[in-house]
Amino acid sequence: MYMRSSKKYGSEVSLNEPVGTDKDGNEIAVMDLLCDDGTEMLDIIDMRFQGARLCSLMDSVLSPREAEIIKLRYGLGGGAHDPDAELTQREVGKMLGCSRSYISRLEKRAIEKLRSVMEDEV
């Protein structure tokens, strides 16, 4: 009877079961490998939320040209070849047919617009 009942638990592992030692010779348990303080996950969730909010604001606050420049500069899905590639001001200027300094001015103005709207919402 005992064999039959323990067989179904044979593949289970305890969270306190040691799996090795660290460089100081201390035992490492499965729980130590899986445990997380949660702050990194909260930061990731907050960053995704802020990113989504920023993308929605870009469409409503910025002109189409400013939004395109921000998307191209910061790799927010605006590039034709690689949507996640961050481009330099010179590359964006070449794509849009204007100078790097003009792109710099438009980018700065767009970022200031977004910053002021996001600060007003908080």
CATH of the domain at 100: 1.10.10.10
Domain membership of residue 109 (yes or no) is yes
- Tell me the two tokens of residue 105: 């001015």
Categorize the per-residue pLDDT at 118 as very low, low, confident or very high, splitting at 50, 70 and 90: confident
Residue 65, CA distances (Å) to 1, 12, 37, 103 in order: 75, 57, 42, 10
Domain membership of residue 16 (yes or no) is no
Give the tens place of pLDDT for each residue, 100-111. 999 999 999 999
Domain membership of residue 40 (yes or no) is no
- Domains of the chain: total: 1
Whole-number CA gyration radius for the chain: 25
Mean pLDDT across the chain: 82
CA torsion sign, 116 to 94 to 82 to 87?
negative
Give the tens place of pLDDT for each residue, 36-82. 666 677 788 888 888 888 888 888 999 999 999 998 998 886 555 56
In 8-63, which residue ranges form alpha helices assigned H by DSSP? 30-34, 39-61
Contact 86, 73 (CB under 8 A): yes
State pTM to two decimals.
0.60
Contact 22, 28 (CB under 8 A): yes
Q: Which domain holds residue 73?
A: 63-121
- Tell me the two tokens of residue 57: 């604001």
Domain membership of residue 117 (yes or no) is yes
